[in-house]
């Protein structure tokens, strides 16, 4: 099978790491964000981590299945 230069699993992993870093970076500002009505930013980062982990696992599954075929 032909190799593609695009690795979706790596893309999801990098994106998940970026969301996780943003989550940790925003935690010290939770009080200020809440006062400004922007506490959802923290939850959006956490959701990004969760969706990224799901996408990473799905991309790995598809890649492994493709390699087996």
30-61: pLDDT as tens digits: 999 999 999 999 999 999 999 999 999 999 99
Q: Which residue has the higher pLDDT, 1 or 28?
A: 28
Work out whether the CA dihedral 50, 54, 57, 59 comes out positive or negative: negative
Query: Residue 3 has what pLDDT?
Result: 62
* Average pLDDT along the chain: 91
Residue 39 DSSP SS3 = coil
């Amino acid at each position: 099978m032909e190799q593609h230069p695009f690795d979706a699993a790596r893309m999801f992993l990098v994106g998940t790491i970026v969301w996780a870093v943003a989550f940790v970076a925003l935690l010290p500002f939770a009080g200020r964000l809440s006062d400004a009505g922007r506490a959802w930013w923290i939850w959006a980062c956490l959701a990004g981590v969760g969706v990224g982990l799901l996408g990473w696992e799905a991309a790995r599954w598809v890649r492994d299945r493709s390699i087996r075929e």
